[in-house]
Amino acid sequence: MVATIEAPEKLVGQPIRRREDPKLMTGGGTFLDDIRLPGMSYAAILRSPVAHAKIRSIDTAKARAMPGVIGVFTGEDLADVNPLPCAWQAAGVDNNVATPRLLALGEVRQVGEPIAVVVAESVYQANDVLEAIDVDFDELQAVVDSREAVKPGAPQLHENAPNNIVMHWTCGADADSVDQALADADVRLSQAVFNQRLIPTAMEPRGSIGLYEPSTQEYTLWATSQAPHVHKLVVAAFVLGIPEQKIRVIAPDVGGGFGSKIFVYFDMPLVLWLSKALGRPVKFFEDRTENYLHTTHGRDHHTDIEIGATKDGKITALKVSTLANLGAYLSTVAPGVATTLYGRMVAGCYKIPNIHVDVKGVYTNTAMVDAYRGAGRPEATFVVERACDLVADATGIDPAEVRRRNFIQPEDFPYDTGIGMLPYDSGNYAPALDKALEQVGYTDLLQQQTQRRANGNNKLLGIGLSTYVEVCGIAPSK
């Protein structure tokens, strides 16, 4: 007998029944490392222990002779394979693109960069063999801080990016007019802020399985993927140079991603290349250390904020200058995250008549940086909300009231922020803020905060406020 579930009259505000949970909660999920194919072989990656070095030589003779070894390959073996592409290039990036090869060729630029791959009958044999590979490095000076990387005389990562600057992107009013608005303001404030680097940490690390079928010249890729169609297109057309219809990408159950499993990684095309070369399916699955070293990181923005405001808390000017650390190479959509998804969202929910945003993308000897949980928008929100708090501190006006006074009003829509690609079409922000303040008991919290300070209580009470509007105008928009 089949049960009938009554459809709700409306969906907004209704709980949605999750259908995928029982299988996962009872251990019925199939994740990448659960997959076993006939004749499966296993890959392990030798990674760079240094942040920056020339590779003088790689000796794989001992490794090739060890038990269980099916193949050992270095960057020289894959010299004809295209590097990974950068799919979203912001203005000014074209001539400065540096993307990673599947295996390093001649130079390494970050700790954890893949140097060689061993394929063996078991994952344990493959990892044991890594210790038999002898690499001779000529270690070079490294730079990991974007502020140091742009200074004259800093170590250079790529010849085509002087001072390690991969892009210089601006939006909004011209800088001179915003400087004048700052000079004319009743209140002028500034602060340096740092949105620290983060490492996405899903329960399941990343991995790939590659299978080549010689009779049809078709590939199958199983991947821990948030975007199998993107991976299909990029791996086929831009890395292996084959028709897209020759690759099938399968995403099994995925144990979390948070953005980090959207991008194309070296192992995806590598296991396909290895399967074709060896005539066996090949699995690679990283351990947690590898995940931290080489899966893309997030954030890492050093930003200088300048704010102009009236005495009654209205923000009249905002100037934002950001150094965005993009790591040793450009990841799949990294330039877009640091520009379109960040710079164009700095206005937030606020009516700020004079805004200028300046972003420099910087190469450093660190893991690549790309989209992570919000992808540029949290960084932008941090900037403008910090500006609101600075104005509140300087004027003595309640932080919630500063936000209320600066909101774009309903009658202002459609509203052009001056930095976006499209005008905001609608919004009514003050009632949403008022509702939030009511639900958390904001007035009572302020009284508690004041009382604790007056009593010298060493358990202080902090109250934070933040508003947010989602980006639209990029396809697919949301």
Q: Are residues 386 and 263 in the same domain?
A: no
Q: Are residues 219 and 163 in the same domain?
A: no
Q: Are residues 314 and 239 in the same domain?
A: no
- Span 319-328, average pLDDT: 98
Counted residue by residue, the chain has a size of 478
Q: Are residues 124 and 213 in the same domain?
A: yes
Q: Provide the domain limits for residue 350.
A: 146-195+299-412
pTM given for the model: 0.93
Dihedral sign, Cα of residue 252, residue 254, residue 258, residue 260? negative
Q: Are residues 242 and 347 in the same domain?
A: no
Looking at residue 476, its pLDDT comes to 42
421 or 229, higher pLDDT: 229
Residue 4: band (very low, low, confident or very high) from pLDDT cuts 50, 70, 90: low
pLDDT > 90: what percent of the chain? Answer: 88
* Residue 48 resides in a domain: yes
Q: Which of 412, 439, 456 is the last residue of a domain?
A: 412
pLDDT tens digits, residue range 335-346? 999 999 999 999
- Span 139-163, average pLDDT: 97
Q: Are residues 71 and 183 in the same domain?
A: no
* Residue 286 resides in a domain: yes
pLDDT tens digits, residue range 290-315? 999 999 999 999 999 999 999 999 99
Residue 422: band (very low, low, confident or very high) from pLDDT cuts 50, 70, 90: confident
Residue pair 315/350 in contact by the 8 Å Cβ criterion: yes
Q: Are residues 308 and 363 in the same domain?
A: yes
Looking at residue 387, its pLDDT comes to 98
- Span 374-381, average pLDDT: 92
* Residue 381 resides in a domain: yes
Looking at residue 478, its pLDDT comes to 38
pLDDT at 316 over 70: yes
Q: Are residues 81 and 160 in the same domain?
A: no
Q: Are residues 355 and 403 in the same domain?
A: yes
Residue 115: band (very low, low, confident or very high) from pLDDT cuts 50, 70, 90: very high
Residue pair 172/357 in contact by the 8 Å Cβ criterion: yes
**Lowest mean per-residue pLDDT among 198-207, 355-364, 389-398, 449-458:** 449-458
Residue 10: band (very low, low, confident or very high) from pLDDT cuts 50, 70, 90: confident
* Residue 235 resides in a domain: yes
pLDDT at 220 over 70: yes
* Residue 51 resides in a domain: yes
pLDDT at 247 over 90: yes
Looking at residue 313, its pLDDT comes to 98
Q: Are residues 170 and 239 in the same domain?
A: no
* Structural domains in the chain (count): 2
- Span 21-50, average pLDDT: 96
Looking at residue 87, its pLDDT comes to 87
* Residue 452 resides in a domain: no
Looking at residue 5, its pLDDT comes to 59
Where residue 396 sits, what CATH number does that domain have?
A: 3.30.365.10
Looking at residue 6, its pLDDT comes to 65
pLDDT tens digits, residue range 156-195? 999 999 999 999 999 999 999 999 999 999 999 999 999 9
Looking at residue 165, its pLDDT comes to 95
pLDDT at 139 over 60: yes
pLDDT at 132 over 50: yes
Where residue 86 sits, what CATH number does that domain have?
A: 3.90.1170.50
Looking at residue 1, its pLDDT comes to 52
* Residue 419 resides in a domain: no
Looking at residue 470, its pLDDT comes to 86
Looking at residue 11, its pLDDT comes to 79
Amino acid letter, 222? W
Q: Are residues 151 and 184 in the same domain?
A: yes
Instruction: Give me the phi and psi of 349, to 5 degrees please.
Output: -95, 15
Token representation of residue 461: 């009470």
- Span 353-359, average pLDDT: 98
Q: Which of 240, 270, 294 is the last residue of a domain?
A: 294
Looking at residue 400, its pLDDT comes to 98
What is the overall mean pLDDT for the chain?
A: 94
pLDDT tens digits, residue range 24-34? 999 999 999 99
Q: Which of 266, 294, 322 is the last residue of a domain?
A: 294
Binning the chain into helix, strand and coil, the percentages to the nearest 5 are 30, 25, 45
- Span 145-166, average pLDDT: 96
pLDDT at 477 over 50: no
* Residue 454 resides in a domain: no
Helix (H) or strand (E) holding 250: strand 247-250
- Span 96-100, average pLDDT: 86
pLDDT at 254 over 80: yes
Residue 238: band (very low, low, confident or very high) from pLDDT cuts 50, 70, 90: very high
Looking at residue 72, its pLDDT comes to 99
Helix (H) or strand (E) holding 379: helix 377-395
Residue pair 345/418 in contact by the 8 Å Cβ criterion: no
Secondary structure tally for the chain: helices H, strands E: 13, 15
Q: Are residues 279 and 161 in the same domain?
A: no
Task: Estimate the crossing angle of helix 399-406 against helix 377-395, to 10 degrees.
Answer: 110
Looking at residue 92, its pLDDT comes to 65
pLDDT at 90 over 80: no
Looking at residue 319, its pLDDT comes to 99
Looking from the CA of 121 toward its CB, the CA atoms found within 13 Å total 4
pLDDT at 474 over 90: no
Token representation of residue 427: 């919004």
